[in-house]
Structures are given as C-alpha cells and as structure tokens.
Amino acid sequence: MNFEQLNIFSDDENLEQIENEIKKLREEIVYHNKKYYDQDEPEISDYEYDKLTQRLKKLESKYPQFITKDSPTQKVGGTVSKLFDEVKHSVQMQSLQDVFSFEEVEDFTKKIEDEYDNIEYIVETKIDGLSISLEYKDGIFVRGSTRGDGFAGEDVTQNLKCIKDIPQKLNEKIDIEVRGEVYLPREEFNKINEELEKKGKPLLSNPRNAAAGTIRQLDSKLVDERNLSIFVFTVLKGPEFDTDSSRLDYLEKLGFKVVQIRKVSKNIKEVLSAIEEIGSLRDELLYDIDGAVVKVNNLKVRDEIGKTVKVPKWAVAYKYPPERKETKIINIALQVGRTGQVTPMAILEPVRLAGSVISKTTLHNFDYIKQKDIRVNDVAIIQKAGDVIPEVIDVLPQKRDGTQVEYEVPKVCPVCFEELEKEENQVALRCTNSECPACIYRSIIHFASRDAMDISGLGQSNVEALIDNNLIKDVADIYYLKYEDILKLDRFKEKSAKNLIDSIEKTKSNSLDKLIFGLGIRHIGKKAAKVLAEKYDDIYKIMDLTVEEVENINDFGLTMAKSLVEFFSKAKTKELIEKFKNAGVNIEGKKSDALSTKLENKNIVVTGTFDNYTRDDIVKLIEQNSGKFVSSVSKKTDFVIAGEQAGSKLNKANDLGIKVITINDFLNMINS
C-alpha cells in the first residue's frame, strides 16, 4: 500500500471503493496482528502498521456503516496459543490508543480538561516488550499469563518464574494482580546474537520479538538462560489508591521493579516536555522503548472517563517518529526465498538504530538497486520505524571516494549455483531448482506455519536442526520423522520430542486447502486453496487440470492457472503427493455438489441489507446454484440483488440498465 496516498476519500466518491478498501485494510491488519502477537515474526515496521490502522480508523470514523464487531479497531490483536493452558482475565487487559504528533496529544488533554479541573498527568516510558499479568496470593506468586486477546491469555507461569526481576514473594502478605512488560535488555540481546552468529544460525530480529518468543518456549531452561527482565506499571486487582503515581510507589515498596522513568505533569507544556525528554534518552536506555505513555494521574477521574471496547479513554501512547542514520554498505549479499526468489541484502557497518544494532537489511529487488544507484562502499541512509530490520532509504553520492563498486546482477543461485531465471514482466530473479537447500528450508517453515499445516514446534531453529541432521529433505519427510531420531538432537527433550510427533500426527487430518496452501504454490493463496479443495474430490483431480480449466474457476486468472498447472506437472510434486498419501496425510477434498444449475454463467452483485439474511448467506445460495458472486457492478453483471440502504451499486446498475431484483425475487428464482 502506498502510504503517500493515505488521504480520505471525498464525499462524492464511490462507497463501494471505500468499503472494499476497508475490507482489504482489515485483512492486512489481521494478518500482521498474527505475525506480531502470535508468531513474534513481524513482516512490517511499527510505523507501517500504525499507518494501516490509522487509515482504517479514519475510514471507519467517516463511514460508520462499515464498522463490524470483528474489525481489528474493535479488539486487541493477539490470540491464545494451543500450546499453553488458557487463562481468563478477571480484568480486561487493554491496549493503548496511539498518537503520532504533539497536536494529537494536545487534543487528548484538551478533551479531558474540558470536563475536569486541575488535572495531573503521568508521563512514562512505553516499554517495547510482551504484556503479562502476575497474580499473588498472600504475597506469593501463583500465576502469570500473557495478554492474548485482552480477555484470555496463555498460562506461562513456569517460564515467568525464571525471570529474576519477578519477585516470588512480596514484602507484604497481600492478594494482588499486577500488569507489566517483559523485555530483553539490549546487552543480553546482543550477546545472544553474537552466539548465534558464531554458530551460523539465524539472528534474532529485535529484543521485543526475542522476549515474546522466549516466554512462549515450552522449555523453561531456555527462558532461564536468556536473562529477561520486567517493568510493572499498573494494578489490575488490589488495594485502591487516589493516584497512579502513589500506586507505583507502593508497588515499588512491595518489591516490584516498576517503570523507572515517570514524570507527573500539571499541564500540556509539562507533558510535551516530558515526552521530549524521554525521547532524548532513547539511545542511552538499557532497554527498548517505542513511545511515551500519557495517562491521567487521578484514578477516580479515570473511572469516570471510562474506556472503549479496546482502549482506555484516559491515556494515549505517543509513538516516536522513525529514526534515520548513516552507515556504510560493506557488501551486497543474496538470500533465497521459499519460492526460489533471490533478493539482495545490504551488509552494513553495524549501527545502533531504534534500540538495536543493525548490520544488514533488505534491498527489496535488483531494480531497486539500479533505481537508487546503490553501490558497495556507499554511505547509505537507513531508516527503522521501531521493530523490524530497516531499509536503505537512499545513498549519498557526494560522500563517494572512488572505492565504490557498481553492483552486477547475479546469473546463478548463490546456494546451489543453478542458473537463475527471470519471468516476463517480473522484477524478481528465481532459482527453479527444487532441490536447492535454501528453498527447502523456507518451504518447510511455510508448510508448518499456522495458516498452512499449523505444526507446533517446527520453528526456524528446529527446522534447521532437522535439516542439518538429514532428517528432512522436503515437506513430506516431516510425516516420516521418528521420536527416537528427534530425541537425539540437542534441542529436544523427551517432552518436546513427543509434542512435535503428536503435533505432526494431528495435522494429518487437516483439510485439503491447508495442504495446498502449505505447498507454497506461487500465486495460490489461502482463498484459492480453499476454492480448489471445495471444488474437487481430491488432489489428483486438481493435478490433472489444464490451464484453461483452472482459468475458468471463479476468481482464478491466467497467471494463477499457469502457476498451478506448472507446479503439479513437476515430477518432484508428484513424488511429494505420493509420500503424503502413504504417510496418511489427508488428500481428499470436500467437493460440494451444486443444488442446481439455475444460475450457471450468471454474474451476480449483492448490495444493501436484508431481513433474515446476511450477505454471506446470499453469496452461499448463489454459489450453491452455480452462480458467480461478484463484488462490483459492470457491463458483465447479469443482475443485482438489492436490499435496504442499497447505495452506489444500485445507482450504477440503474445507469447501466442492469436488472435489479429483490431478495424475494431471488429466492423465487432458485426455488421454482
């Protein structure tokens, strides 16, 4: 998405276009929520994510008719992992409303002060870690859990007991539940990465994800080794206080490590000054922060101000703008993705940026290098928006000293040395060798991911260990792993080895669409995989399809058709399918026979609201009667089903002279 064009539509623009954008934004945000909260593997920066959510909030605010209960603006992003017991939170653990300018902070304080006099604020560091709850009975630590979706989280008590800064016994015998942020100190993060680099293993991307991933480990020994820490910042259940500042002082007396930098401010000038001061200290802190929290100090006033379903209305989190720094490009290396795509990576002179030391970053593609005229030994400007590996924004030609070397686009794969191919109208170069070790590693990671086969315990490090020990050479080999072989590896104990075998066994009964998506076929996403699994009896029927047959499937285009047919025509693919079948992996589809062919070859649009029917209900009826649901009106539309509050689609249908029918007309049509 182009963030340069994040302006709001004018009132006379097409509501259909707005609704479609809202849906796409929701899908994108939900995807990135899973990567961030559940998998601890974000693909975009905080800054980019915040821009997406800002855009969605603005559109939903201006067009409230499109707000849904499941919108990511209406709930916290995380979910509860199946690996841990679920904990129902007695008090909802909410997130904070983000703001990005001093003007927004001023708006926040003005709204408060319009209603209340003599308001104090407390400004403190926003720790970049994993939010958790700690419960104590008679002063003894009894349970700890993650935030999850705010209403329920994961029981990670045993792992939290390994964190030295979490007191096992308080200085008073008291029943209390507190909330804090578990984090990995920068020094520990750097030590871990140094060790990983020596062993030639993948580096941790940033302290926040390292902390979150560590807390979710099944082996508490690793948690103990990683010297995590915590800052406690509020009470969820316990004694009552007049102010947040006095409550924090009390928590400190109990023995908790509380947020260190906090300032009570009496007006907006002091609030903004505190935000600036915290920002100036970012590089000096021993831990990462991604903003400053501004909260009303008076707790009774907080109760009166209240909250929304997702955020408290008495606090905001000011997010600092992206940092930029100069560093030198020492070299340009190559990496190979799961589909064989080869992408360039800049190897940098290490530089501290936004809380972590950066030594490499993506260069996107070879056209990007050419466009920016990026050369080895160039001085580059890099930007990091908070939590992921940054990008090279530009280079500084005026700082060239004659040692710079123009980059030559590679001709062979850096891993298997097979010749690279470039498809027509494509930027990327690709290794087409199915035996390439780099492709195998990434294909297995994808295959085991949650949206694919969802095999718990097959993370990057474990996959690497299995490949290094020649236990798996392709995705189908996963189903031939033996408990005794896994147990021999250093990474596994009896319980973790058994858990992995059990997890693998469980996925044998997954629906076919999971398997198809897991195979990593280019241009075939989750939706396309589901369409195929529901349209055909088994995977063999899909393997026999021609390009023309695939192209005629609803929502499939020529590019998707060619990719699918090419993939299933390979001898290696056929070998994989047989291995899956022999291992007992489900390869059967769920072909749903049409109720009738009354709507065959009909393109149908649905608009408005209907009594007793949701839009999904109507779409299902269309498809069950062989029709094709389309989202927009065009000359190819056969008719429009219009309900109450039908908008621009109805107008367009009338302008084009397309037939418009009611829901009753439609039901009579398919039931006659």
Q: What residues contact residue 278 under an 8 Å CB cut-off, 6+ apart?
A: 123, 124, 125, 261, 289, 292
Tokens read off for 369 = 């290098």
Residue 126 annotated to the active site: yes
Which whole-number Å values give the CA distances from 329 to 298, 376, 507, in the listed order?
51, 6, 44
Residue found under tokens 């199946």: 82
Q: What is the DSSP string of 440-505?
A: HHHHHHHHHSTTTT--TT--HHHHHHHHHTTS-SSGGGGGG--HHHHHTSTT--HHHHHHHHHHHH
CA dist list (Å): 297 to 262, 270, 294, 314, 359: 11, 14, 9, 9, 41
Q: How distant is the alpha carbon of residue 257 from its chain centre?
A: 30
**Nearest to 430, CA basis, from 518, 360, 366:** 366
Inter-residue contact 233 to 317 (CB < 8 Å): no
DSSP letters along 96-130, please? Answer: -EEE-SHHHHHHHHHHHHHH-SS--EEEEEEE-SE
Residue/partner pairs of 19-24 with CB below 8 Å, 24 or more apart: 19/63, 19/66, 20/631, 20/632, 21/59, 22/56, 22/59, 22/60, 22/63, 22/66
The tokens of 90 are what? 């007695």
Q: What is the dihedral of CA 238, 244, 248, 253, to 10 degrees?
A: -60
Query: CA-to-CA distance for 124 and 132, rounded, in angstroms?
Result: 18
CB atoms within 10 A of CB 38: 17
412: helix, coil or strand? strand
Structure token pair of residue 660:
């418009």
Cβ atoms of 282 and 112 within 8 Å: the answer is no
The DSSP symbol for 312 reads B
The length of the chain is: 672
**506, 454 contact by CB (below 8 A):** no
* Identity of the amino acid at 272: L
Cα 506–508–513 angle (5° rounding)? 115
Strand partners, 133: 145, 179
CA distances from 330 to 205, 206, 344, 348, 376 (A): 20, 22, 13, 5, 6
> Residue 418 in contact with residue 436, Cβ under 8 Å?
yes
Tokens of 325: 């720094």
Choice among 69, 110, 126, 598 that is catalytic: 126
List b or e across 68-79, with b for residues whose CB sees 16 or more CB atoms inside 10 angstroms: eeebbbebbbbb
Q: Which of 355, 366, 414 has its CA nearest to residue 389?
A: 355
- CB contact set of 581 (below 8 Å; sequence gap of 6+): 587
SS3 labels along 363-389:
CCCHHHHHHHCCEECCEEEEEECCCCC
Q: Around Cβ 606, how many Cβ atoms within 10 Å?
A: 24
Q: Which residues are catalytic?
A: 126
